[in-house]
A and B are shown apart, each in its own frame.
Chain A
């Protein structure tokens, strides 16, 4: 197990290093990083040269990269061009909001999708199954920003149950979380159904039934456990999707998480903040995937040796 953990950890660290390098490289996509940093400001030629020198962009590229790496290792991803504060610090202040949003959304998604998937699988081909699967197909096809706007139209403007946006108590969190939850809900419901159907065809399920176990026990104990692996994978992947989806959800509802902060930074052309946000979100996603790998190795010992 330790060998497996160590290998996964090395892989995660390497991935994170590569991600940071890519994000660093983004600045050089158009050739001149200073032009990107100064875009939208009325900077004269001397300002450009001064900034280029001050930020070290006049040095050879490998030196610039080493400089970036040594700073990044110490948690320094540059300063915000607007406030002058460290970009990573600014972004990390918003992480709590996004994590709250993602956790509530994932809880909602799981609470609905797992029962739906189980019911659909148990009554395969029935009207219930077909209706639920059609609904989940529709849910999977609705773009998240439209879902958000519909939520606002119905629950905030018409019914006045929840505020249309902003931050405060749990009542501000509910609509954004429900919006963010819809797509994973639909995906997970379909996956629970298909992986449960897959497992229900196996011989050991037949054996369990032959021993006269009640259907609830067959499904609940023997089948669900084995159908869980693909579901865990997709849950982790969906968290990654949520970190992206949060960008749109937070923009619609004015929820002050990393996503809204990033979009604001883009409109203000505050590129170091955008970089810090991408690095931080990717870091969280990589860490989560690492934990899922560990969980996997624990649940299914065969994986450790592959």
Chain B
């Protein structure tokens, strides 16, 4: 009587642990791949000149629109081929990583700082300040952001700095709402009330006791926001309203090469596009993973 039960128990245990292990492994593998991919992109951004075989803007008109090296007319000096001006595509893709990450991270940091600060103020002091800030956030969310961004760029003109500003202006709302929500709920809790009763100043309470409680949520949101910021940057650059040449950006490469794609030079748009997608994808995968690790209940 007991033998079948024991064996079925063993099977159950085996099935349970086996399934858990396999699930753990497949999810983990994806995160690992994403991490390696992002690490490679960061290395490209840090030392592009060392990695790239050619200077990114070096033109060789005689070598224009060469296909990747594994194709019939390919040249071993240009592994991914060349563009319409004979510039080495691999070198340009490597150099493009730098501006995407610089712009993305600076916009992320600016919008994060501003957003968290505003949100903490609104949530901690409440009252009319809170009302106004949150109404402003609602209003901004009511404007389709690509349109708002290009309207602002239309006024202040396209430049690398202006792109960062526009992206930062676009991003603060998410952090402000997050920080406000936390500040609102924390300020009523007993440990905060106790600090206040002990005579702690407001800024001290906010910085030392509310802010740390907010950090993991901010990190998760920021990692997912980064993907959106980089996409928006490359969209603006694609429309000619973002990063300006001679700075190499993936978005502009796509815009620049799209007419040649119709003539059959698929590589001119395929590789920069792959680079953007790989960046966004790895950030998204890592962001999801971070959320599961740091703050599983966070709904975004």
Is this pair of chains taken from one and the same complex?
yes
Segment touching B, from A72-80, A82-90, A214-222, A282-290: A282-290
Does B147 contact A278, Cβ atoms closer than 8 Å? yes
Q: In the docked arrangement, what's the CA distance between A18 and B137, Å? A: 11
Does B142 contact A241, Cβ atoms closer than 8 Å? no
Does B138 contact A15, Cβ atoms closer than 8 Å? yes
Give the residues in chain B near A281, CB-CB below 8 Å: 143-144, 147
* Distance in Å: Cβ of A231 to nearest Cβ of chain B: 14
Segment touching B, from A148-156, A167-175, A202-210: A148-156
B235 contacts partner chain A, Cβ-Cβ < 8 Å: yes
Does A141 contact B143, Cβ atoms closer than 8 Å? no
Q: Ordered nearest first, which 8 A-B pairs have the shortest CB separation?
A: A244-B146, A146-B273, A141-B281, A244-B144, A141-B280, A243-B144, A18-B139, A266-B154
Does A152 contact B276, Cβ atoms closer than 8 Å? no
Give the residues in chain A near B135, CB-CB below 8 Å: 14, 18
Give the residues in chain A near B281, CB-CB below 8 Å: 137-138, 141
A143 in contact with B231 given A138-B281, A243-B144, A247-B147 (CB within 8 Å)? yes
Q: Mark B256-300, 1 if CB is under 8 A from A, else 0.
A: 001001101010011001001100110011001000000000000
* Distance in Å: Cβ of A149 to nearest Cβ of chain B: 5
Q: Mark A271-282, 1 if CB is under 8 A from B, else 0.
A: 100110110011
B129 contacts partner chain A, Cβ-Cβ < 8 Å: no
* Distance in Å: Cβ of B163 to nearest Cβ of chain A: 15
Segment touching B, from A2-10, A22-30, A49-57, A111-119: A22-30
Chain B residues 142-194 with CB under 8 Å of chain A are: 142-148, 150-156
A243 in contact with B258 given A29-B156, A137-B285, A274-B154 (CB within 8 Å)? no
* Distance in Å: Cβ of B221 to nearest Cβ of chain A: 16
A149 in contact with B261 given A130-B26, A143-B277, A262-B150 (CB within 8 Å)? yes
Give the residues in chain B near A188, CB-CB below 8 Å: none
In this complex, the member of A22, A144, A244, A277 whose beta carbon has the largest number of chain B beta carbons within 10 angstroms is A244
A134 contacts partner chain B, Cβ-Cβ < 8 Å: yes
B111 contacts partner chain A, Cβ-Cβ < 8 Å: no
Does A152 contact B238, Cβ atoms closer than 8 Å? no
B241 contacts partner chain A, Cβ-Cβ < 8 Å: yes
* Distance in Å: Cβ of A188 to nearest Cβ of chain B: 15
Chain B, interface SS category: helix
Does B241 contact A266, Cβ atoms closer than 8 Å? yes
Interface size class of B (residues with CB under 8 A): 35 or more
B14 contacts partner chain A, Cβ-Cβ < 8 Å: no
Q: Interface residues, chain B, CB within 8 Å of chain A?
A: 19, 23, 26, 30, 135-136, 138-140, 142-148, 150-156, 227, 231, 234-235, 238-241, 251, 254-255, 258, 261-262, 264, 266, 269-270, 273, 276-277, 280-281, 284-285, 288
Give the residues in chain A near B147, CB-CB below 8 Å: 243-244, 247, 262, 277-278, 281-282
Q: Which of A30, A138, A244, A269 contacts B277 (CB 8 A)?
A: A138
Does B150 contact A19, Cβ atoms closer than 8 Å? no
- Further 11 A-B residue pairs, CB within 8 A, beyond A243-B144, A251-B239: A18-B136, A30-B155, A140-B284, A141-B280, A143-B234, A145-B255, A152-B261, A240-B142, A248-B235, A282-B143, A282-B144
Give the residues in chain A near B139, CB-CB below 8 Å: 15, 18-19, 22
* Distance in Å: Cβ of B190 to nearest Cβ of chain A: 26
Q: List 6 A-B contacts (CB under 8 A).
A: A19-B143, A141-B284, A145-B251, A149-B258, A274-B154, A282-B144
Give the residues in chain B near A274, CB-CB below 8 Å: 150-151, 154
Give the residues in chain A near B239, CB-CB below 8 Å: 247-248, 251, 263
Q: Which chain A residue shows the least CB distance to B153?
A: A266
* Distance in Å: Cβ of B41 to nearest Cβ of chain A: 13
Q: In the docked arrangement, what's the CA distance between A273 and B131, Å? A: 32
Does B284 contact A143, Cβ atoms closer than 8 Å? no
Does A137 contact B144, Cβ atoms closer than 8 Å? no
* Distance in Å: Cβ of A191 to nearest Cβ of chain B: 11
Q: Mark A29-73, 1 if CB is under 8 A from B, else 0.
A: 110000010000000000000000000000000000000000000
